[in-house]
Structure formats: structure tokens, C-alpha cells
Structure 1
Amino acid sequence: MEETTWEQKLQALTHTLINPTNTPESLYSQFFISTQLPCYLNWDYHPPIFCPKSPNTFPSLHLRWGFSLFLKRVSRFGVPQTSWRSKCPFQQPPPLILAKGVEEAQWGEEQKREYVRKRMRRKRLGSDVHPLIPILLPNIFLFSLLLWNPFPQYDS
């Protein structure tokens, strides 16, 4: 990425933001991005078809890319990749793949009210640690240092 100019990075970013998609990119889009940015093996935006070929390396770039893609899919056990958008059923446009446990959005007034009530009834995000523990533990540790000297050789 260091050998690209800021203008090339900006053009690639603008193209990516203007044309978002989860489907395979068009040939024009892949070619445009590959001319603007260098090739990365673990980058999911496009396959390394247009990357400059180096005949001396084994395994080849295409073989390494295919193997890394295979390992990514095997590690997910075939489940489609979801993002934070997949957990938001009321977002416009709706997500292409809903996350596991999220039902499709119902747009009636009563369904929206029930959805909000259900979200409000959820347990708050956080830990179940008693609030005195984060206060007491450091204080007990510091008090133990008053009673016990861990470095007696430095005692003067």
C-alpha cells in the first residue's frame, strides 16, 4: 500500500463506497481496483487475477489465494459470513443475509412496538461482577504491601 498515491487510494475508496455489493464484482470493477491498489493475498474484494505474475514463486499466487479462500470457508463450517448489518433487520436497505437468531423485520406499527419492547427487556450488556470487587481487590493488594515487604534486600 506504500507505493500507491493518495489520489489512487481515494479513487479506490470512492469506487468501493459508491458501489457496495456482496455479489462478485464486475470485471470492470475488479480491473479498476487492481490498477489502483496493490494485490493482497488475504483481501476478499477481488481475486488476484490482474496481479502481476511472478513465475519464480511456488506455490503460485493463484494457488495460494485459492487455498486461503478454502481455509476461510472451512473455518466457518460453510455458514455465510455475516457482519454487523446482518443483526439490524430494520436497516434500509435490508441486509442480504440475516444473522443467526434474527428474524426478518415486520413493518407494522404493532410489530415495531413489540420489537422495541423485546429489545428493552434484554439483559444489559456487561459483566455480572459485584461492583465492590473492582474497588476492594486493588485496595487489599495495596494494604498487603504495607504489611509485607516484597523486596527486603532493598530495605535500608
Structure 2
Amino acid sequence: MDNTSWEQKLHALTHILTSPTHAPPLHSQLFIATQIPCYLNWNYPPLLCRRSSSSPPPPPLMRWALSQFIKRGRRLGLPETSWRCKCPYQLPPPLILAKGVAAGEWGEEERRRYVRSRLRRRRLVNDVNPLIPILVPNLLVLLLLFWVPISLQDN
């Protein structure tokens, strides 16, 4: 990657940002491979990477394939999801919806129903009596004040 110019890096970055995907099409992979041929840490295979004398014994394409296998093996073959995948009304819609999230329906009535269900959800608060966080530490401090670890009869 050190032998690529800033213009090539800029073209590759612009392409990646304008077409985000987990499974890039072949023309996209070839474009990135021509711009930055030897970058092994992303989803694009290093097709045009030359094997240098300083590189370790496995060829770059084999190292990339092994890294992809290990990445997918850690997820047990499940697709990558992120917080964006949990937003069914995101524009444009997410590539892969997270597990347990229903796809967004765009009719007027469906959107009203969705907003009402979101507003009816319970708030994320603890169901603890407010006196407990105040009383318990105070009782512990009082217990320490009245507790005598050394008996006075031993002196």
C-alpha cells in the first residue's frame, strides 16, 4: 500500500464510501484492486498484489482468504450487523436487518402503528424503591460505627 499515490487512495476511498456493502460486486472489487492492490485487511481480494521477497511464505491472496475465513468463523457464519441494521426506517434501508427486527413498512397506517408501539414501550429505568440506595449505605456506615472489632475485656 506504500507504493500507491494519494489520488489512487482518494479514488478508492470515495468508491468505498459511496457504495458501502458487505458483498461487493466483481467490478467494484477489480476497481479497488487496481487502485490499491496490496491491502489485505478488508473485503476486497488483493487480486493484483505482487509477491515481494520480504512477504511471508503464503501468497497475499491466500492470506486474505484465510483472514476472511477466520472473520466469518468467529461469527459462526452469521452476517455482520451493526446498530444501523436495527433501524427499519433508515433511508436507504440497511443491507441486512438485525435479528429480531421486522422490515419497515412504508404505508401511512403502518408508520403510525410503529410510532405508537415505540411510544408505548416501557422506559429503561430500574424498578428499585428510591429509599433503598439511600438507606443501605447509611445502615452500613452506622454498622461500622457501632461495631467494635477488639473486645475491651482483653486489656
- Which residue does the alignment assign to 2:67? 68
Is the aligned partner of 1:49 residue 2:47?
Answer: yes
Pick the structure with greater CA Rg. 2
Question: What amino acid is aligned across from residue 14 of structure 1 in structure 2?
Answer: T
Please, which runs of 5 or more residues in structure 2 have no aligned partner?
134-155
Question: What amino acid is aligned across from residue 38 of structure 2 in structure 1?
Answer: C
Once structures 1 and 2 are overlaid, which stretch shifts more, 96-105 or 111-120? 111-120
Aligned-pair Cα RMSD in Å: 3.1
Is the aligned partner of 1:110 residue 2:109?
Answer: yes
8 Å Cα contact 2:37/2:46 also seen in 1: no
User: In 1, distance between residues paired with 2:56 and 2:89?
Assistant: 48
Question: CA-to-partner distance for each residue in 1:49-100, whole Å, 9 max, x for gaps?
Answer: 2112236632222222222111111111111112333212112332232101
Once structures 1 and 2 are overlaid, which stretch shifts more, 60-69 or 18-27? 18-27
- Which residue does the alignment assign to 1:16? 16
Question: What amino acid is aligned across from residue 48 of structure 1 in structure 2?
Answer: P
Shift of 1:105: 1.2
Task: Report the CA distance shift for 1:13/1:127 in structure 2 as closer, same or farther (over 3 A).
Answer: farther
Shift of 1:126: 8.2
Please, which runs of 5 or more residues in structure 1 have no aligned partner?
134-156
Question: What amino acid is aligned across from residue 100 of structure 1 in structure 2?
Answer: K
TM-score normalized by structure 1? 0.64
Question: What amino acid is aligned across from residue 52 of structure 1 in structure 2?
Answer: R
TM-score normalized by structure 2? 0.65
Give the length in aligned residue pairs: 130
